[in-house]
Amino acid sequence: MSRIGKKPVELPSGVTASVSGQTIEIKGPKDTQSFTATDDVTLAVEENAVSVTPRGKSKRARQQWGMSRTMVANMVTGVTNGFKKELEINGVGYRAQMQGNTLKLSLGLSHEVNFEVPAGITVTAPKPTQIIVEGTDSQLVGQVAANIREWRKPEPYKGKGIKYKDEYIFRKEGKKK
């Protein structure tokens, strides 16, 4: 049995959930999100909790059970608190700044990188070496942060590049004479 799937998702005050068929819609103070589950699970709203149950004992049903419950829990967290990823930039001359809806990155390339911020995501650069990605969709926040990091991944010798705030860069020793 799925240990995650067994627990119902509690709905805090100010958050409502409605199920129609296999689609659940969650409304909260920050946003409204919806998720369509597969036919392998059943979604139900009881009082102030959402429960997910499998429709059989197949391997796919058990996989979808835990995943669907986690998706609902992430939507509840997103519409109440939101998600946030922090990135740090290390390197001489490496910096970032916001101009309208575009993140301008100077990363030692022959040109500046202009990164268009997608709808539903807020990107801020409080310092030239810090980028904060915020939003209500966990998957979208993580994907945008990964796309920004992809422009200059941290290298193991000097640690230059864009890294997550809590990421550890394994450092290598350079050449010896």
The per-residue pLDDT for range 43-73, each reduced to its tens digit, is: 999 888 999 999 989 999 988 999 999 999 9
Residue 89's nearest CA partner among 168, 172, 148, 160 is 160
How do residues 148-169 score in pLDDT, each as one tens digit?
999 999 999 999 999 999 999 9
Percent of the chain exceeding pLDDT 90 equals: 85
Longest CA–CA span in the chain (Å) reads 71
pTM summary value: 0.87
Instruction: Report the DSSP beta bridge partners of residue 32.
Output: 27
49: Cβ contacts below 8 Å, ≥ 6 apart = 8, 9, 10, 11
